[in-house]
Chain A
Amino acid sequence: GDSVTQMEGPVTLSEEAFLTINCTYTATGYPSLFWYVQYPGEGLQLLLKATKADDKGSNKGFEATYRKETTSFHLEKGSVQVSDSAVYFCALTKYNFNKFYFGSGTKLNVKP
């Protein structure tokens, strides 16, 4: 079945460090891929998306490129801030977008 696999956390970085959170997926057909972020005490917010192969989603300095050949959608940011500390979820959906498959989440801690 369809699924998403994320790297285990937590990830701890110093401010201004480079961030990569790995995400790979298994899906038939042509899924759309998403990154969601959950700040402490809040629900999930959409961070970025890509709906077809080679698309790059970007928002707030974060980027991810839909790589069909490696079935990956890794999240990157060139210089993290303390305010980026949160849990990040990779997700996929397809067809009528009524069902999302979420990864297990990766907690990011950024130290000043």
Chain B
Amino acid sequence: DVKVTQSSRYLVKRTGEKVFLECVQDMDHENMFWYRQDPGLGLRLIYFSYDVKMKEKGDIPEGYSVSREKKERFSLILESASTNQTSMYLCASRDRGEILGYTFGSGTRLTVV
């Protein structure tokens, strides 16, 4: 069964910390995505990557950066965590030619205190 694995299920970090959220997929997919999920707002795209070392901003990139050094791994970085970044973060991947949509990870619930 194909998998997208997010390294942490729950995280608690302090304001101002640098935070790394890790995502690994085992499907050899070219495209990977980071979303945040907030009540009443649905899912909003932060960044995506269509190849190793390639990235594009989504709708809400401010305060975030990403890294994709290997095809299977896509990291989301909060440069200086703030309380308004408390959220559920979802990673997803998709094969370039696939129109069936994304495969999602189980999510990381981040709380910034």
Question: Interface stretch among A13-21, A41-49, A65-73, A77-85?
Answer: A41-49
B 26-48 binary contact with A (CB < 8 Å = 1; else 0): 00000100010000111111001
Cα A34 to Cα B42 with chains together (Å): 14
A 68-112 binary contact with B (CB < 8 Å = 1; else 0): 000000000000000000000101010001111011110000000
Q: How near does chain B come to A34, taking the closest CB pair, in angstroms?
A: 6
Summed over the interface, the residue pairs from A and B with CB atoms below 8 Å come to a total of 55
Any B CB within 8 A of the CB of A51: yes
Residue of B nearest to A41 (CB): B106
Instruction: Say yes or no: A46-B48 contact (C-beta < 8 A), given A97-B94, A102-B43, A104-B42.
Output: no
Cα A33 to Cα B101 with chains together (Å): 10
Cα A36 to Cα B56 with chains together (Å): 24
User: How many interface residues does chain B have, given as a range?
Assistant: 20 to 34
Beta-carbon contact of B102 and A99 below 8 Å? no
Main secondary structure of the interface of B (DSSP, over half): strand
Any B CB within 8 A of the CB of A58: no
Beta-carbon contact of B42 and A100 below 8 Å? no
Any B CB within 8 A of the CB of A22: no
Contact among A42, A99, A100, A104 with B41 in the assembled complex (CB-CB below 8 Å) = A104
Instruction: Say yes or no: A102-B90 contact (C-beta < 8 A), given A32-B99, A46-B102, A97-B99.
Output: no
Beta-carbon contact of B100 and A42 below 8 Å? no
Can you pick out 7 interface pairs between chain A and chain B where the beta carbons lie within 8 Å of each other?
A43-B90, A44-B102, A98-B48, A98-B56, A100-B101, A102-B35, A103-B42
Binding site for A on B (CB under 8 A): 4, 31, 35, 40-45, 48, 50, 56, 58, 90, 92, 94, 98-102, 104-107
